[in-house]
Amino acid sequence: MAELLESEGFDVAVAANGQEGLELLGQMDQPCLVLLDLMMPVMNGEDFLRHVREDPALRLTPVIIVTASGLTPLPGTQGLLKKPFEMNDLFATVSAHCP
């Protein structure tokens, strides 16, 4: 997914788990969007989202859940991309938040 987005000109940062993601967000400028998988080691997506929403610096960061499960968007998120998804859906979702 990162390679696809980079090929379309987006700047992408990748974290292997929720804890790494929080550390990465603490070291960078405000991102235009977080694409969040719920199933991650160390810190799952729901815990990551809770930490982001409790952090005043990150509270307003748009978060899109990327999942294969039949979930509906979680409170505090701006949408859901269900796997498998079409590349055009990915690009449209990211473009809506990251001009």
Residue 13 has what pLDDT?
A: 95
Residue 74 has what pLDDT?
A: 78
Q: Distance between CA atoms of 56 and 91, rounded to whole angstroms?
A: 28
- Tell me: domain 2-22+29-97, CATH 3.40.718.10, correct? no
Backbone angles phi, psi at 66, to 5 degrees: -120, 115
- What is the full per-residue pLDDT of the chain (99 aa) written as tens digits? 999 999 999 999 999 999 999 999 989 888 999 999 888 888 888 899 999 999 999 888 999 999 887 677 778 888 889 888 899 999 999 999 998
- Token reading at 22: 């929080």
Residue 91 has what pLDDT?
A: 94
Residue 97 has what pLDDT?
A: 93
Residue 10 has what pLDDT?
A: 94
Delimit the domains of the chain by residue range. 2-22+29-97
pTM recorded for the entire structure: 0.89
Backbone angles phi, psi at 63, to 5 degrees: -125, 130
CB atoms near residue 78 (< 10 Å): 15
* H or E element in which residue 37 lies: strand 34-37
| CA nearest neighbour of 42 among 19, 26, 22 | 19
